[in-house]
A and B are shown apart, each in its own frame.
Chain A
Amino acid sequence: MYTKVILVKDTDLKRADKTREFYTRLLDYLREADLHEQIQVVRVADIGVYEQGLVVKILPDKIIYTNLQDTDIKRIVDLTLSEGKIIEDLLFKPKAKQCRIVLRNCGKIDPESIEDYIACGGYLALKKVLGELGQLKLIDEIKASGIRGRGGAGYPTWMKWNFAREVVSAEKFVICNADEGDPGAYMDRSILEGDPHSVIEGLIIAAFAIGASRGYFYIRAEYPLAVERIEKAIRQAYEHGLLGDNILGSSFNLNIEIRLGAGAFVCGEETALISSIEGKRGTPHPRPPYPSVKGLWGKPTVINNVETLANIPVIISKGGKWFSQIGTQTSKGTKVFAVTGKVKNSGLVEIAMGATLREIVMDICGGTLSGKPIKAVQTGGPSGGVIPEKLLDTPVDYENLQKLGSIMGSGGMIVMDDDDCMVDIPKFYLGFCVEESCGKCAPCRIGGFQMLNYLKKISEGKGKPEDLVQMRRIAQAMQKASLCGLGQTASNPVLSTLKYFEDEYNEHILNKHCPAGKCSSLVTYKIIEEKCKRCGICFNNCPVKAITGGKEEGYAIIQDKCVKCGQCFDVCKFKAISKK
Chain B
Amino acid sequence: MSKFTPADLEKMSKVSCDKPKDWIKVGMSSCGIAAGADEVFNFFVEEVKKRNLHIEIKKCGCTGMCYAEPLVEVSVEGLPSVIYGAVNKDVATKILEKHVISKMLVNDCIFEVLS
Taking a contact as CB atoms under 8 Å apart, the answer to whether B3 and A241 are in contact is yes
Given contacts A5-B105, A106-B64, contact A225 B33 (CB under 8 A): yes
Taking a contact as CB atoms under 8 Å apart, the answer to whether A119 and B16 are in contact is yes
Taking a contact as CB atoms under 8 Å apart, the answer to whether B61 and A193 are in contact is yes
Q: Is B10 an interface residue (CB 8 A)?
A: yes
Taking a contact as CB atoms under 8 Å apart, the answer to whether A345 and B67 are in contact is yes
| B45 neighbours in A (Cβ, 8 Å) | none
The chain A residue with its CB closest to the CB of B84 is A45
User: Complex: how many Å from CA A105 to CA B25?
Assistant: 13
CB neighbors of A among B76-92 (8 A): 78-80, 85-86
| B30 neighbours in A (Cβ, 8 Å) | 186, 189, 193, 223, 225-226
Q: Is A534 an interface residue (CB 8 A)?
A: no
Contacting residue for A124 out of B10, B78, B85, CB 8 A: B10
Q: In this complex, which of B16, B18, B80, B105 has the most chain A Cβ atoms within 10 angstroms of its Cβ?
A: B105
Taking a contact as CB atoms under 8 Å apart, the answer to whether B71 and A118 are in contact is no
Q: Is A350 an interface residue (CB 8 A)?
A: yes
Taking a contact as CB atoms under 8 Å apart, the answer to whether B105 and A40 are in contact is yes
Using an 8 Å CB-CB cutoff, how does the interface string of B78-110 with A read, 1 for contact, 0 for none? 111000011000000000000000011111111
Q: Is A411 an interface residue (CB 8 A)?
A: no
Contacting residue for B4 out of A106, A107, A248, A347, CB 8 A: A248
Contacting residue for A345 out of B12, B31, B65, B113, CB 8 A: B65
CB neighbors of B among A191-245 (8 A): 193-195, 223, 225-226, 239-242
Q: Is A120 an interface residue (CB 8 A)?
A: yes
Taking a contact as CB atoms under 8 Å apart, the answer to whether B107 and A42 are in contact is yes
Q: Which of A109-117, A271-279, A412-420 contacts B (4 or more CB under 8 A)?
A: A109-117
| B86 neighbours in A (Cβ, 8 Å) | 45
Using an 8 Å CB-CB cutoff, how does the interface string of A87-117 with B read, 1 for contact, 0 for none? 0000000000000000101111111100110
Q: Is B66 an interface residue (CB 8 A)?
A: yes
The chain A residue with its CB closest to the CB of B7 is A127
Interface size on B, as a range, is 35 or more
User: Complex: how many Å from CA A267 to CA B6?
Assistant: 38
Taking a contact as CB atoms under 8 Å apart, the answer to whether A346 and B66 are in contact is yes
Using an 8 Å CB-CB cutoff, how does the interface string of B34-47 with A read, 1 for contact, 0 for none? 00000000000000
| B60 neighbours in A (Cβ, 8 Å) | 106-111, 194
The chain B residue with its CB closest to the CB of A57 is B113
CB neighbors of A among B54-79 (8 A): 58-68, 71, 73, 78-79
Task: For residue B81, give the distance in angstroms from its CB to the closest CB of chain A.
Answer: 11
Taking a contact as CB atoms under 8 Å apart, the answer to whether A194 and B17 are in contact is no
The chain B residue with its CB closest to the CB of A246 is B3
The chain B residue with its CB closest to the CB of A121 is B13
Using an 8 Å CB-CB cutoff, how does the interface string of A350-380 with B read, 1 for contact, 0 for none? 1000000000000000000000000000000
Using an 8 Å CB-CB cutoff, how does the interface string of B1-21 with A read, 1 for contact, 0 for none? 111111001101101111000
Contacting residue for B5 out of A40, A109, A249, A348, CB 8 A: A249
Taking a contact as CB atoms under 8 Å apart, the answer to whether A116 and B17 are in contact is yes
Taking a contact as CB atoms under 8 Å apart, the answer to whether A109 and B108 are in contact is no
Q: Is A544 an interface residue (CB 8 A)?
A: no
Taking a contact as CB atoms under 8 Å apart, the answer to whether B4 and A242 are in contact is yes
Q: In this complex, which of A105, A115, A194 has the most chain B Cβ atoms within 10 angstroms of its Cβ?
A: A194
Task: For residue A245, give the distance in angstroms from its CB to the closest CB of chain B.
Answer: 10
The chain A residue with its CB closest to the CB of B105 is A42
User: Complex: how many Å from CA A193 to CA B61?
Assistant: 6
CB neighbors of B among A468-512 (8 A): none
Task: For residue A188, give the distance in angstroms from its CB to the closest CB of chain B.
Answer: 12
Given contacts A124-B9, A241-B4, A346-B67, contact A193 B85 (CB under 8 A): no
Task: For residue A338, give the distance in angstroms from its CB to the closest CB of chain B.
Answer: 8
Given contacts A107-B64, A124-B10, A242-B4, contact A45 B58 (CB under 8 A): no
Task: For residue B103, give the distance in angstroms from its CB to the closest CB of chain A.
Answer: 8
Taking a contact as CB atoms under 8 Å apart, the answer to whether B65 and A119 are in contact is no
User: Complex: how many Å from CA A522 to CA B78?
Assistant: 61
The chain B residue with its CB closest to the CB of A190 is B62
Taking a contact as CB atoms under 8 Å apart, the answer to whether B78 and A1 are in contact is yes
Task: For residue A328, give the distance in angstroms from its CB to the closest CB of chain B.
Answer: 23
Task: For residue B37, give the distance in angstroms from its CB to the closest CB of chain A.
Answer: 11
Q: Is A386 an interface residue (CB 8 A)?
A: no
Can you spell out 25 A-B residue pairs with CB atoms less than 8 angstroms apart? A5-B79, A44-B110, A45-B86, A45-B108, A46-B110, A106-B64, A107-B27, A108-B17, A118-B9, A119-B17, A120-B13, A122-B13, A123-B4, A127-B9, A186-B31, A190-B31, A190-B62, A190-B64, A193-B29, A194-B60, A239-B1, A240-B4, A241-B3, A248-B5, A347-B65
Q: Which A positions have Cβ atoms within 8 angstroms of B?
A: 1-2, 5, 7, 40, 42-46, 48, 57, 59-60, 103, 105-112, 115-116, 118-124, 127, 130-131, 186, 189-190, 193-195, 223, 225-226, 239-242, 248-249, 344-350
